[in-house]
Amino acid sequence: MAADTLTLVLPDPAATDAFARALAPALGAGDTLLLHGPVGAGKTAFARALVTALRTRAGLPPEDVPSPTFTLVQTYDAGAFEVWHADLYRLSGPDGVLELGLDAAMGDALCLIEWPDRLGADRPASAIDLTFAYPPDGADGRILTLAGPAAALDRLRPAFMEIAT
């Protein structure tokens, strides 16, 4: 399966929120987004904005979306499907993923997974990687790179283009 990449500059948190809102209609059950980046790069902020956008689209009231660093997984109703937001930072490897039930959720829910390197061989082939990076020149904002199977990125390209223009 061929991989593709898209790169987007997010100059501020409002741009991250706007991208999450634009992306929400293109996502659903069975999608997995692997969120990469150093501490503080915006992984949880993006997940929070995406969950909020999905719940709003479903006509559901706002809900607190905390970082799952200590709970490991938080689940949210998004109307037609659940969203699983996982932070695997405290796991030492893929064995803990099975204990969380995340492997089963990847087929039935939208999964947002921070620190996905802990998945090891359990990384879904159809997953889309979102890498949040600090600009190399020390400027504000983030550089977001999306990578994954071309067919999956083609589905997300309209949201990307909405924000990139």
Residue 71 pLDDT > 90: no
Residue 105 pLDDT > 90: no
1 pLDDT tier (thresholds 50, 70, 90):
very low
pLDDT mean over 74-102: 84
pLDDT mean over 107-127: 90
Q: Which has the closest alpha carbon to 147: 37, 67, 54, 53? A: 37
165 pLDDT tier (thresholds 50, 70, 90):
low
Task: Classify residue 98 by burial, with Cβ atoms within 10 Å: 0-12, 13-18, 19+.
Answer: exposed
Share of the chain above pLDDT 70, in %: 95
Instruction: Identify the weakest region by mean pLDDT among 22-26, 80-84, 138-142.
Output: 138-142
> How many other CB atoms sit within 10 Å of the CB of residue 149?
16
97 pLDDT tier (thresholds 50, 70, 90):
confident
pLDDT at 4: 84
Residue 140 pLDDT > 60: yes
Q: In sequence order, what are the residues at sequence separation of 6 or more whose Cβ sits closer than 8 angstroms to the Cβ of residue 70? A: 90
Share of the chain above pLDDT 90, in %: 53
- To which CATH superfamily is domain 3-144+153-164 assigned? P-loop containing nucleotide triphosphate hydrolases (3.40.50.300)
